[in-house]
Amino acid sequence: MNGNFTYCNPTKLYFGRGAIENLNIELPKYGKSVALVYGGGSIKKNGIYDRVVEILKANGKEIAEISGVMPNPTIEKLYEGMEIARRAKCDLILAVGGGSVCDYSKALSASVNCEGDPWQKYYIDFEEPSCRTLPVGCVLTMAGTGSEMNAGAVITNHAQKLKIGHVFADEKMMPRFSVLDPEYTLTLPRYQVMAGIYDIFNHICEQYFSGEDDNTSDYLSEGLMRSLIISSRAANKDLNDYEARSNIMWTATWALNTLIACGKTTDWEVHMLGQAVGAYTDATHGMTLAAVSLPYYRHIMPYGLKKFARFAVNVWGVDHAGKSDRQTAGEGLSRLEGWMRELGLVMNITELGATPDMVEGIADSTLIMQGGYKVLTRAEVVQILKESL
């Protein structure tokens, strides 16, 4: 391993059935006023809302609700939440939901006490908070983003056709604690489960496909990918398979909590393409990644041939004997494609609502990253998007 890094992850995790009871340990550490942030209502249907409110009340908390946080949360919604949290003088933000709710809560944490426009400050100028931020806790209801243990907060600006992630530099912006009960994810629709699985897989790929050195992080990544392939197949057969769903939830956390990026440059171009598609279509995050992945990976494969061959052998079990790196690497991507089709992932952006006339605009919204095997030109971005239609 050749890269330098700093590793610090202060999020305390409570994992497993009944983990929600641990809120009773965490809540007394914070002041009286709690912003309870949630989405479009799934937590009211499955009973999680009632249990959380009960525990908050038992701990003497005053609750300011910020509800209706949509998938791919918008900047307008953030402005709305800032008003509510300011009025209630919140001491803690409790996010109850998926990545959208957790991300939103972190963006809120960095904005409540800050002057100026958070969009300009965090998403255009990529500044760090210069104000007192609020602590965030999470009760996770969907496995995928890793938001429960990282400092990322993705916000969409429809007017500017941009969907941008800010990964805050200060580990204080990571949730102070997260409650991960796999049973809470059992009410998710199949489409969201599968989108989450691909999101996890792609987070690992984004960190795996970079660098030439022998790096412990890559071995960790391979183990996580193998585990995910097995648990995703089990979940695909039976969505109520607790063992599989619990492995998926745990893999999601480790796929994006900074561990497997240690000592790596990391790529993230699939996410940049997917986020730009998301800015135009508002499609489900994991599906936007699935829809652009194969054209992207087939395009960059020649520039990182050895790693793609290793991926084929160590992750997919391809037999390399008597084959060239190119043959083996190609077989690995075919196996990846087969698995994606097995899970019923969306394999093109047309199905997500993108049209040929959007390609130039989506390309304009795609940030070009420097850390992968090939720094794309704009023409290559356009080509990959066309191949993804």
Report the alpha-carbon distance of residue 262 to residue 180 in Å, rounded.
24
What are phi and psi for residue 376, nearest 5 degrees? -70, 150
Q: Which is nearer to ligand NZQ, 173 or 309 (CB)?
A: 173
188 binds, among ligand NZQ, Zn ion, none (CB under 5 to 8 A by kind): ligand NZQ
Stretch that binds Zn ion, among 61-69, 131-139, 192-200, 332-340 (CB under 5 A): 192-200
Which x/- pattern, by CB under 5 A, does the window 315-354 give for Zn ion?
----------------------------------------
Q: What is the rounded CA–CA span in Å between residue 106 and residue 89? A: 16
Residue 77 vs 271, nearer CB to ligand NZQ: 271
Mark the segment that binds Zn ion (CB under 5 A) among 18-26, 88-96, 199-207, 320-328: 199-207
Q: Which does 334 bind (CB under 5 to 8 A by kind): ligand NZQ, Zn ion, none?
A: none
State the minimum distance, in angstroms, from the CB of residue 168 to ligand NZQ.
Answer: 10
For Zn ion, the closer CB: 103 or 199: 199
Shortest gap between Cβ of 256 and Zn ion (angstroms)? 7
Q: Closest CB to Zn ion belongs to which residue?
A: 199
Residue with tokens 């990182």: 304
Rounded-to-integer distance, Cα 115 and Cα 182, Å: 38
Q: Which does 141 bind (CB under 5 to 8 A by kind): Zn ion, ligand NZQ, none?
A: ligand NZQ
Q: How far is the CB of 292 from ligand NZQ (least distance, A)?
A: 13
Least distance (Å) between residue 190 CB and Zn ion: 19
Closer by beta carbon to ligand NZQ, 56 or else 188? 188
| Cβ closest to Zn ion, residue 199 vs residue 267 | 199
Q: Minimum Å distance from CB 280 to Zn ion?
A: 17
Query: In terms of C-beta distances under 8 Å and separation of at least 24 residues, what long-range contacts does 215-223 make, across chains too?
Result: 215/1, 215/2, 215/3, 215/263, 215/264, 216/1, 216/262, 216/263, 217/1, 217/259, 217/260, 217/261, 217/262, 217/263, 217/264, 218/264, 218/310, 220/254, 220/259, 220/260, 221/260, 222/311, 222/314, 222/315
Q: Which does 135 bind (CB under 5 to 8 A by kind): ligand NZQ, Zn ion, none?
A: none
> Shortest distance, CB of residue 70 to ligand NZQ, whole angstroms?
7
Minimum gap (Å) between residue 271 Cβ and Zn ion: 6
Q: 285-300 and 378-388 are packed helices; what angle lies between their axes, rounded to 10 degrees?
A: 120
Closest CA to 179 of 82, 286, 51, 73: 51
114 three-class SS:
coil
Asked if 103 interacts with Zn ion (CB under 5 A), we say no
Residue 153 Rama label (left phi>0; alpha psi -120 to 50; beta)? beta
Which listed range, 79-87, 110-118, 152-160, 198-206, lies at the site for Zn ion (CB under 5 A)? 198-206
Does 199 bind Zn ion (CB under 5 A)? Our answer is yes
Map residue 354 onto helix, strand or coil.
coil
Total number of residues that touch Zn ion (CB under 5 A): 1
Query: How far is Cα 340 from Cα 337, in angstroms, rounded to an integer?
Result: 5
Query: Using an 8 Å Cβ cutoff, are 18 and 181 in contact?
Result: yes
Parallel, antiparallel, or unpaired: how do β-strands 136-140 and 33-38 relate? unpaired
Q: Which is nearer to ligand NZQ, 124 or 167 (CB)?
A: 167
How far, in whole angstroms, is CA 264 from its chain's centroid?
Answer: 19
Nearest to 333 by CA among 362, 365, 363, 293: 293
- Interface residues with ligand NZQ (CB under 6 A)? 39-43, 46, 71-72, 97-101, 103, 141-142, 144-147, 150, 152, 154, 165, 184-185, 187-188, 192, 196, 199, 256, 271, 285-286
Contact 105, 136 (CB under 8 A): yes
Q: Report, in Å, the least distance between residue 184 CB and ligand NZQ.
A: 5
Residue 321 C-beta: closest distance to ligand NZQ, Å: 36
Residues at the contact surface with Zn ion, assessed by CB under 5 A? 199
